[in-house]
Structures are given as structure tokens and as C-alpha cells.
Amino acid sequence: MNRAPRGAQDLVHALEMGSARIWVRRWLVAMVTVVVAALYLLREAKNFSNPEAMDLGQLGRNIAAGRGYTTRLVRPLSFHLLQERAKETGDTVSGILHKPHPDLQNPPVYPAMLAGLFRLVPPQFSIALPSDPFRQRPWPETVVTLFNLGWLGLGSWLVWRLGRRWFDWEVGLMAAAAYGGTELLWRMCSNGLPGPFLMVLVLVLADLLVRLDDSGTPLSPGVPPPVVRPLRLAFAAGIVVGLGFLTRYAFGLVLVPALAWILATHVRRWLAAPVFLLAFVLVASPWLARNYQLSGRLLGTAGSAVFAGTETFPEAWLERHLRKPPESPNLLTEIRVKFSSNAADLLRNAVPKLTGNWLFFLFMAGLLLPFRTDRLRRLRWFTLAALAIFFVAEAFTRTYWSTLVPEANETCHMVLLTPLIFLFGTSFVFSLLGSTEFGHPVIRGLFLGGAWMVFSLPLLTSILPPRSFPMVLPAYRPDIIQEVCGYVRKDELMASDIPWAVSWYGDRECIWLPHAVRSQNGEDFLSVTDFERPIAALYLSPFTSEEPLRRVGTGEFVWGRFYLDAVVNRNLPRGFPLLDAYQGSAERGHLFLADRKRW
């Protein structure tokens, strides 16, 4: 029976050989983790730079405030889809912009988790800004970062646990340390995206598939494998894929290699596969039915990512259409060109930087290493198949916004397989070390510690001086956005070129600017404020002031020309309803116009 150490000699023995040594090591690991997290949050973490992160954040805050699954970011395309669906069902078309706007872009799991988070924290931590926004992050973004770091920590623990079970304890420990020390994953946490949560789902799914594989072996010669346990595991795996699909739609593509695993290996395949699919359908179908009822599309506006970035719909033009988007006879050809261009760019830039760690190259080298167990061979093939499917999905769904933050955005699907890649890459390292003579265990330990430091150099160097400021310049100025939004009531509508920032920092309903100020086809600002709902204020950021005037000379009055006329020539187009300019917003290319003097 274990007893507490008595005297100095017992204490020393416990620290050297007993259970106290394990707790001391755990305490040291916890302290190092807390120190690194504090240094990263204070010195390196920046404000949100992804439009998707701000969109998800304001959506979660709306749910927490009791507004339902509605968004303050009004996409013209979603407004168009709601109008068309109302015509099909015979509902009233007028007044759609006057009602709470349902979100048709984002699946619900991650916003629902953020809603629960915002309910737990004090109200000032869901909207308030710090006293010095240049040196401190907004409180809501710090809260979301800490939430994602919790998922990163859980992922590290799962990597250690599964690595110990599948390989050995050294592989699990090294892979978990490398996973927790990867700067790219910390950046994803600070960017407010659900990547760390999805990686946890990848690990849980892999664990369930391996357990399902093990359940297919006979208990003894002549005794068939059980039935109930495989069906439970298949059902749980389907739920995990469904939850991932309702967090990021592209995650649902992992259904293909998972189903292939079940059909190719399990003796109960004709029972396990339907149960797996049934669980996925039960989780995903209510949300797909909701989207179809509102917009006539299963994925709402998210499905337009395939067409965004083509010649017909460059940049973000497709989402800014108030009317039916134009049809191109060569749209399929344009999609093929988009895929080819994006695939080549991914092979040149994204794939070599995948996982943000050199373990990816060790994973690729380890493909030549044979495994003795069938389950590890199948797991590696599952990882390669999912990697290939995510590569295709990323090439098809990459948009203009993906190029603004290329390594950590909503279309970075391949990076979700980071934990499995780390496990296989680390196993390759230890397979090489097995044939290496170090002379003494201490030298081997020093080598492994040095290898971890090399793998984690990006994170370790990021917390060293000099300090980087959190402000994402020049477009996102939380202090300016919140100031100008304070002049607009919560029941009024704004318009902006960065409506996600207005919705997140200012907590105001904001429509994304249509293509033009005025045009002949109704794709313009005036058609909204004159016929749909009055727009109380217009906010233009440096995204517009620094935009090349690509459409000068056409028949349309575009926003780049509008900005130059308003700021340089002090002139606004005839009939424009917002005539009062707030001089305090003119700093560094920001422009705020209102229907009257509100300040």
C-alpha cells in the first residue's frame, strides 16, 4: 500500500523513483505550458484577421443574446436567395431586410459553442475593447483564443494517448509535444477558427475506426466476432463525422475514406456501413432541411465558394449580387481553370508548409516504411486518402479571402490531418533511432529534446523580443469601428466593405456593399436604401481606399471612385442620401457617412 513519504530520505526516494516524480514532471509541463501560452497571448497573438472568424464570433454572440441563429452580416446573395425562396413558396417578398436575417453561410456547431462561451463570461468580455487597442487584444478575441487553446490542449492529450496505444509511449509523447509546440496551430487558435476542434474530431474518428477494426477479429477460432459493439462504434463514428460536417462543410468529405475503411476491412461491413451512414444522416439532415427551407439550397450561400474566384465571379463578386448572378456558358471551364490554378499554387506553397512543421516531410519519408500490423497500414491509407480528398476540396473552394490569410483560414482543410501526420512522422523518427547507437540514455534524451526544439522553433522564436503589436493594420481598427458604430442605433442598418468587422466589433447590422453605387441593372447601393430598407450610415475602410480602380471607364459608378470623390474632391454623387461625413474617422483611409449629423 502506498504511503506518504516520511523524512528526507523517503522524500528523495519518491522524487527519484516513486510516484512523486511523475507528478513533478506533470507540474513542470503544466507550468511551461502556462508560461508559453501567457507569453504568446501577450507578445505574439494578433487580432482577428479572418473575415470568417469575425463572422462566426458575431453569430455566436447573437445566439448568446437570444437572437436565434441570425446574423448581423447581411450578404446580398443571401438576401437574393431569401427573396427567390419567398417567391417559390408564395410568402411575402417585401420587408425581408426589416426582419432578423437568418445566417445561410455557416454551419451551427462552432457558433453554438461560442454562444455557450459568451454566456459564461461577463458581458464586457463579449463586446468591450481594452483601453489601449494598439497594445492589447479585444477581450472577446482573447476569450475565444483561450477557448481554442483548450481544444489544442485536448488534442495534444489525445495524440499522446493514441500514440502510446498504437505505437509506444515515446512516440506518443514526442508527437504530443510537437503538436502542442507547432506555431501554426497556435496561430489558428488566435485567429478564432474551429481548426483545433476539428482536429480533435479527426483523432476521435481515427480512434473509433481503429477500435472498429479491432472488433472485427474473431475472439477465438471458430467463434464469430460480436455484432453489437461494431454497430455502436460505427454509429459513434457517423456522429463524429456529422458533427464535423456541421462545423465545416468540407469535413463531411472524410465520410468517403471512413466508409471505404469499413467496407474494405470489417466482417460486419453490411451492417456497420449502413449504421455509419444512418448516424451521419440523422445528425446532418435537420440542418440541411433548414437551409433548403430558407434558401432552396442545402448548403445555403456556402456552396457558392466553388464558383467564387472564376473569371465570371472574381474575388467576392458572387456574394455581393443583389439580383440573379449572371450565367456564363463557360462556367464549367472556368471552374476547371480555377481548380488547376489553385492546385498548382497549393503544391508550390501550401503542401510544403502543411502542418507548419518538418514532421510532414518525415511523414512523407515514412511512407516507405512498412508496418507489421494491419490497423496501422489501414490508418496510414486513411490519412493519405483524406489528405487527397481535402486537397481537391481546398483547390475547388479556395476564394479571394483565402489569399489574405493563406496558412490559417476556413479553406485550409488539409491541415486538419496534422495530428495523424505527426504520429506517423514521429514513428518514422523512432524507427530510425532504433538502429542508432547513442552510448548513453542521457545522450539519446538530449537528442530527442533537441529535435523537439527544432520542430518548435517557429513557436519558441515568436515569443522572443521584439514584441509584435496585435492590431491588424490598415483595414481593421476596432476602436474606429466601434466609435462610428456607436452613432448608429441597433435597429438601424449600416453598409460597409468590411461588414464582418462592423458586425463583430460594432455589433450593428450591416449589409455588404453591392457592386456599385448606382447602376442600370439594380446591383447597386441606391436600390437597397430606396426600395428595401433605409441605410443609416456607410463605413468604408482602407480595403476600398487602397483598391485599384479596375472598373474606371465602365458605365458604373464603383466604390473606388466614390471614395476618391468623397475624400479628395469633397464631392458625392447626385441623389446620394448620406451627406454628413464624420471627420474623426478620416484617419488612415477610413470614411464614415451618415444620413444626418449624429455626433
Query: For residues 241 and 258, what is the distance between their CA atoms, to the nearest angstrom?
Result: 9
Question: pLDDT tens digits, residue range 377-389?
Answer: 999 999 999 999 9
Predicted pLDDT of residue 165: 93
Ramachandran bin of 7, using left for φ above 0, alpha for ψ from -120 to 50, beta for the remaining angles: left
Asked whether the bond before 133 is cis by omega within 30 degrees of 0, the reply is: no
Q: Report pLDDT for 134.
A: 81
- DSSP label at 326? P
Radius of gyration of the chain, Cα coordinates, nearest whole angstrom: 27
Say whether the peptide bond before residue 130 is cis (omega within 30 degrees of 0): no
Residue found by looking up cell 542521457 in the block: 442
Percentage of residues of the chain with pLDDT beyond 90: 50
First to last CA, the chain: 75
Alpha helix (H) residue ranges in 167-227: 169-180, 183-190, 195-214
The predicted pLDDT at position 369 comes to 82
The C-alpha atoms of residue 349 and residue 81 are separated, in whole angstroms, by 36
d(CA 303, CA 301): 5
CB atoms within 10 A of CB 165: 13
Note the pLDDT tens digit of each residue in 165-184. Answer: 999 999 999 999 999 989 89
pLDDT value of residue 299: 95
For residue range 49-98, list pLDDT tens digits in order. Answer: 889 999 999 999 999 999 999 999 999 999 999 999 999 998 888 889 99
Q: What is the pLDDT of residue 521?
A: 81
- Angle, nearest 10°, between helix axes 139-166 and 109-120? 120
Q: Model confidence at 585, in pLDDT bands (50, 70, 90)?
A: low
pLDDT tens-digit map of 225-241: 677 888 999 999 999 99
Q: Which three cell numbers stand for residue 270?
A: 453490411
Please give the biggest Cα pair distance in the chain: 90
Give the residue from 190, 209, 193 showing the smallest Cα distance to 413: 193
Cβ atoms < 10 Å from Cβ of 232: 17
Q: How confident is the model at residue 260 (pLDDT cuts 50, 70, 90)?
A: very high
Average pLDDT estimate for 194-212:
95
pLDDT digits (tens, 9 = 90+) for 355-367: 888 899 999 988 8
The more confident residue out of 406 and 3 is: 406
Which residues, 6 or more positions from 575, have their beta carbon under 8 angstroms from its beta carbon? 518, 526
Which one-letter amino acid corresponds to residue 593? L
Q: How many CB atoms lie within 10 A of CB 572?
A: 16
Mean pLDDT, the chain, as a whole number? Answer: 86
In DSSP terms, which residues pair with 511 in a beta bridge? 74, 495
Non-local (6+) Cβ contacts of 389 within 8 A are 253, 254, 256, 257
| Local confidence band at 550 (pLDDT 50, 70, 90 cut-offs) | very low
CB 276 within 8 A of CB 232: no
Residues 283-300: b if buried by 16+ CB within 10 A, e if exposed:
bbeebbebbeebbebbbb
Residue 518: strand pairing partners: 557
pLDDT, residue 14, reads 54
Distance CA 532, CA 511 (A): 12
Joined together, the cell numbers standing for residue 198 give: 476539428
**In 17-128, which ranges are continuous DSSP H helix?**
19-43, 51-64, 76-89, 109-120
Taking the C-alpha atoms of residue 238 and residue 284, their distance in angstroms, rounded to an integer, is 10
Instruction: Please indicate whether residue 232 or residue 559 has the higher confidence score (pLDDT).
Output: 232
Where do the structural domains in the chain lie, given as residue ranges? 330-434, 473-594
> 318 or 445: whose pLDDT is higher?
318
Q: How confident is the model at residue 549 (pLDDT cuts 50, 70, 90)?
A: very low
Q: Quote the cell numbers at residue 519.
A: 447602376
Q: How confident is the model at residue 586 (pLDDT cuts 50, 70, 90)?
A: low
For 553, residues 6+ apart whose C-beta sits below 8 A from its C-beta are none
Confidence of residue 458 (pLDDT cuts 50, 70, 90): confident
Q: Is 33 exposed, middle or buried (0-12, 13-18, 19+ CB in 10 A)?
A: middle
d(C-alpha 516, C-alpha 559), whole Å: 6
